[in-house]
Amino acid sequence: MSLAGVHHLDMHTTASSKLINRSQSQSEQAVLSIEELRLQLNSCFTCGVSWQEEHVSLDCSECGGYSLERPCPMCDGQCDNMWKRDLTMTHASGRARWEGECGLERSLAQTRLLLQPLSLSPESEAQLCQRLENLKS
């Protein structure tokens, strides 16, 4: 003999319609608008502050002390360039990641190129010295 109970058809229909309604309401809740998604991506996944609203947590490694922009970390802002938060890498790593270019590093690299010592052969060096002496006179 089976222990399964017998229920009216109406009871199964009501239960299945409740399940369908529940799954529909859950799927409706899971759908985010583009604006809601943007707000979520522009917020810290670790501490929850909104970078879009210029909020930060100073002790959170994902925030890193800044919202969506920060002064150049290479020269501590001396070049006046602002770096933008790399949202993908920040969220993936749980640490603040930035994209930008240091204005001083670029000019320093150009200066280094100009100030690099010339590697001259002994003959070329002698010619250069002779020309410099001719300029003096």
Residue 3 maps to a domain: no
Give tens-digit pLDDT for 41-76: 999 999 999 999 999 999 999 999 999 999 999 889
Give tens-digit pLDDT for 84-111: 999 999 999 999 999 999 988 776 665 5
Q: What's the pLDDT at 124?
A: 74
Residue 102 maps to a domain: yes
Residue 133 maps to a domain: no
Residue 53 maps to a domain: yes
The reported pTM is 0.55
Number of independent structural domains in the chain: 1
Residue 120 maps to a domain: no
Residue 135 maps to a domain: no
Residue 29, CA distances (Å) to 33, 41, 44, 115 in order: 11, 18, 21, 63
pLDDT band at 130 (very low <50, low <70, confident <90, very high): confident
Domain of 56 in residue numbering reads as 9-107
